[in-house]
Amino acid sequence: MQPIKIAVLGSGKGSNFRSILNAILAGQIKARPVIAVSDVPGAGMLTLAENLGVPTAVVEEMKYRTRLSEEVESGLVETLRASGAELIVLAGYMRVVKQPLLEAFPRRIINIHPSLLPAFPGLEAWRQAVEAGVETTGCTVHFVDSGIDSGEIIAQAEVPVLPGDTPETLHARIQEAEHRLYPEVIKRFAVRELL
Ligand code: GRF
């Protein structure tokens, strides 16, 4: 079986991307990162990619903050197609995905979200969990659709909320769970269980 070609799309430091790269380098996942794309020039995830010789691209969007304009997203589709990516992995990508991208890669775009969806969609889900006073939260990997964190759920991991947790301490614990869960799910795509 050929390594699955993955594209990673993110806006931030890329700790999830790093956990995926580590799993690939350790031979736990047969995958090849073919491109790393960010909407934030200079994002940490781009540096990570460059250090490992993974091609990078930046999508520049001046018009909107929460999504890409149709022209820019169509350009992104071309970039992703040219990379040969079979699976688009969103890792801290802070914009809503629109039709050009969704139509180009049906059931081939996945995201990780720091809560047990459908609870706490949207921004700072860890803060929402602390404020709601729940005892358990977690993270979810799901297919991306046109809603916000609303696509079909693929896998979840639970994380306890401990007495005295702040949004920051809880976020750190959720991220540890993310770093285990995301590689496990990508492995299921790599062995074609989910493709
Ligand atoms: C993660 O907490 C993820 O759940 C959310 O964005 C964050 C990305 O972090 N979608 P990183 O850039 O992977 O460190």
C-alpha 177 – ligand 1 centre gap (Å) = 11
Of 13, 16, 94, the one to substitute when testing ligand 1's pocket (max ligand atoms within 8 A of C-beta) is: 16
| Per-residue pLDDT, 195 | 84
pLDDT tens digits for range 158-170: 999 999 999 999 9
Question: Is residue 171 within 8 Å of residue 126, measured between CB atoms?
Answer: yes
Residue 180 has pLDDT above 90, yes or no: yes
Residue 113 known to be catalytic: yes
- State mean pLDDT over 8-27: 97
Identify the H or E element spanning 141: strand 136-143
Domain boundaries, the chain: 4-190
**Minimum CA distance residue for ligand 1 atom 10:** 92
Q: Rounded CA gap, 144 and 103, in Å?
A: 11
C-alpha 6 – ligand 1 centre gap (Å) = 17
| Per-residue pLDDT, 105 | 98
Kindly state which CATH superfamily the domain 4-190 is placed in: Formyl transferase, N-terminal domain (3.40.50.170)
Atom of ligand 1 nearest to the CA of 126: 2
Q: Is the CB of 114 under 6 A from ligand 1?
A: yes
Q: Rounded CA gap, 85 and 167, in Å?
A: 35
Query: What letter does residue 24 receive in the DSSP assignment?
Result: H
Q: Rounded CA gap, 73 and 90, in Å?
A: 14
pLDDT tens digits for range 102-160: 999 999 999 999 999 999 999 999 999 999 999 999 999 999 999 999 999 999 999 99
What's at 90, amino acid-wise? L
Q: What's this model's pTM, rounded to 2 decimal places?
A: 0.97
Q: In the structure encoding, which two tokens stand for residue 173, read together?
A: 């614990």
